[in-house]
Chain A
């Protein structure tokens, strides 16, 4: 069954059309990057997938059901984890929040929950930090904890909103490698403006700017190619490439080369 199936979806705030005639199918185990300019409708699309907004027309199905009924199957990692760093809370307690909403003992935490939370921390390589205060971690470490919190509820799909917006370059690479590893088991969807990095890891890309352009980028050399040895893409060019429905100029290209951005 498709993880997410969106057909002919449109959404508008009052008369401002944000998304128009969107079609998107996410199959397991995709690693989908949702990219596009600010204000292009990325966050709105995410809110629709999470059932926080309802489409004006068209349908959106998560595991063949309405998004609101499937929230327990979605692991969500919100944007910006640098808020509330003064809050007195230990890493393990943040992860245990992933269990909330399930039937639980009257007081305290169950042994199975704690074991599960520790397992989730181990999955993201943070098991040694269980009893550290969340505010004492770096941005990248905190983001890993938020991923562990989402994993704690055993989701079938992991959705991350700008996961690397407040993290240094080394931390970003680490987060994406982690997501790539997790992607062996579950579907991953990342909303990001940080496209040069994300495109190395994703196998599908959806460029959202009112309309949605979908690209299979599992074979990078098919989709991206520079024109000559010295060329490399800058982010603007990549965005333009992906925004176009197809790349006309490249039909005649013979020596297509995909190069990682330095």
Chain B
């Protein structure tokens, strides 16, 4: 394993894994406390539409996926604010239509048979330098937004009605959380793939929730736990030549199982 560290692609994979895990810990906490897990799943799958379009029109995949997922997030945000009682139907719709658009555009892309699997299940060993900049930049943005607006985000997440009465712009912060979730989903696609991203956003958070007394503690613990799972998953993936995303998720699930057994044993 140690000798593997001299390869650039392994170094990139490790850095990407750490950056994405920390981002997933912070954003996953917000998704879980705001009960947006299904919503985040919808955005994750819809982002495949952006991947397909990026391939067809020949612009960077990250850019396509980001634009498309942010647009879906904005759509979901406006639907949530206006048609709250039908939101599950709309999420289901966005989920499926986004993927369908992606598949059709991939079909239409001439002479280039893209490896669908790498987007669905991740391709962390193919992370480039530019990808790392994108991931790092997004993590800085997330940390800045969450520290600067911590109390507003906390108030909106805990009790949005009260926050609105106290003059907090609930709509703005709700949309902000959704956009940051959408972008986190995009960077997580490289590491675990869009199908598995939900597990990465929720399993570490579930463990952290039991161990923390405040939201920032939950974010911190989730970030650390997610990083541990990712690194262990990557090691297994490298050693036994397994798909990285699936290894990370199974390590996370095993970790969760052990955690629950240990808690029950107390």
Interface residues of A in 206-228 (CB under 8 A from B): none
Interface residues of B in 142-186 (CB under 8 A from A): 147-148, 150-152, 154-155, 157-159, 161-163, 165-168
Which residues of B have CB within 8 Å of A106? 148
B218 & A88 in contact (Cβ 8 Å cutoff)? yes
Which residues of A have CB within 8 Å of B157? 87
A-side interface mostly: loop
B148 & A107 in contact (Cβ 8 Å cutoff)? yes
Q: Which of B63-71, B129-137, B206-214, B240-248 lies at the binding interface?
A: B206-214
Q: What's the nearest-Cβ distance from chain B to residue A114, in Å?
A: 13
A88 & B166 in contact (Cβ 8 Å cutoff)? no
Q: Using CB atoms, name the residue of chain A closest to B208.
A: A88
B168 & A89 in contact (Cβ 8 Å cutoff)? no
> Does B215 sit within 8 A of A, measured CB to CB?
yes
Q: Using CB atoms, name the residue of chain A closest to B216.
A: A88
Which residues of A have CB within 8 Å of B168? 100-101
> Does A37 sit within 8 A of B, measured CB to CB?
no
Contact with B along A46-58 (1 / 0, CB 8 A): 0000101000000
Total interface residues on B, CB under 8 Å, equals 25
Which residues of B have CB within 8 Å of A96? 151
> Does B114 sit within 8 A of A, measured CB to CB?
no
Bound together, the chains give a CA A230 to CA B21 distance in angstroms of: 71
Given contacts A88-B212, A94-B158, contact A100 B151 (CB under 8 A): yes
Which residues of A have CB within 8 Å of B151? 96-97, 100, 104, 109
Given contacts A89-B154, A97-B151, A107-B150, contact A76 B213 (CB under 8 A): no
Given contacts A84-B159, A100-B152, contact A90 B214 (CB under 8 A): yes
Bound together, the chains give a CA A205 to CA B73 distance in angstroms of: 47
> Does A21 sit within 8 A of B, measured CB to CB?
no
Which residues of B have CB within 8 Å of A108? 150
Q: What's the nearest-Cβ distance from chain A to residue B149, in Å?
A: 10
B161 & A78 in contact (Cβ 8 Å cutoff)? yes
> Does A185 sit within 8 A of B, measured CB to CB?
no
Q: What's the nearest-Cβ distance from chain B to residue A262, in Å?
A: 36
> Does B81 sit within 8 A of A, measured CB to CB?
no
> Does B123 sit within 8 A of A, measured CB to CB?
no
> Does B109 sit within 8 A of A, measured CB to CB?
no
Pair count A-B, CB < 8 A? 67
Per a CB cutoff under 8 Å, which of B161, B167, B214 touches A89?
B214
> Does A98 sit within 8 A of B, measured CB to CB?
yes
> Does B254 sit within 8 A of A, measured CB to CB?
no
> Does B140 sit within 8 A of A, measured CB to CB?
no
Q: Using CB atoms, name the residue of chain B closest to A81.
A: B159
> Does B237 sit within 8 A of A, measured CB to CB?
no
Interface residues of A in 12-34 (CB under 8 A from B): none
B158 & A97 in contact (Cβ 8 Å cutoff)? yes
Bound together, the chains give a CA A108 to CA B214 distance in angstroms of: 13
Which residues of B have CB within 8 Å of A78? 159, 161-162
Bound together, the chains give a CA A100 to CA B151 distance in angstroms of: 7
> Does A236 sit within 8 A of B, measured CB to CB?
no
Q: Using CB atoms, name the residue of chain A closest to B32.
A: A86
Q: What's the nearest-Cβ distance from chain A to residue B21, in Å?
A: 19
B162 & A97 in contact (Cβ 8 Å cutoff)? yes
B217 & A88 in contact (Cβ 8 Å cutoff)? yes
Bound together, the chains give a CA A93 to CA B209 distance in angstroms of: 16
> Does B250 sit within 8 A of A, measured CB to CB?
no
Which residues of A have CB within 8 Å of B215? 87-89
> Does B33 sit within 8 A of A, measured CB to CB?
yes
Bound together, the chains give a CA A94 to CA B212 distance in angstroms of: 15
B214 & A97 in contact (Cβ 8 Å cutoff)? no
Which residues of A have CB within 8 Å of B214? 88-90, 93
Ordered by A's residue number, 23 sampled pairs between the chains whose C-beta atoms are within 8 Å are A50-B165, A52-B165, A71-B166, A76-B165, A84-B159, A87-B158, A88-B212, A88-B215, A89-B158, A90-B214, A94-B158, A97-B154, A97-B159, A97-B163, A97-B166, A100-B151, A100-B152, A100-B167, A100-B168, A104-B151, A106-B148, A108-B150, A109-B151
Q: Which residues of A contact B (CB under 8 A)?
A: 50, 52, 71-72, 76, 78, 84, 86-90, 93-94, 96-98, 100-101, 104, 106-109, 131, 133, 149, 153
Excluding A71-B166, A78-B162, A100-B168, 8 further A-B contacts by CB distance (< 8 Å) are A78-B161, A87-B157, A88-B213, A88-B214, A89-B215, A90-B214, A97-B163, A98-B166
Q: Which residues of B contact A (CB under 8 A)?
A: 33, 147-148, 150-152, 154-155, 157-159, 161-163, 165-168, 209, 212-215, 217-218
| A-B complex: 7 closest residue pairs judged by Cβ atoms | A101-B167, A101-B166, A88-B212, A88-B218, A100-B166, A97-B155, A133-B213
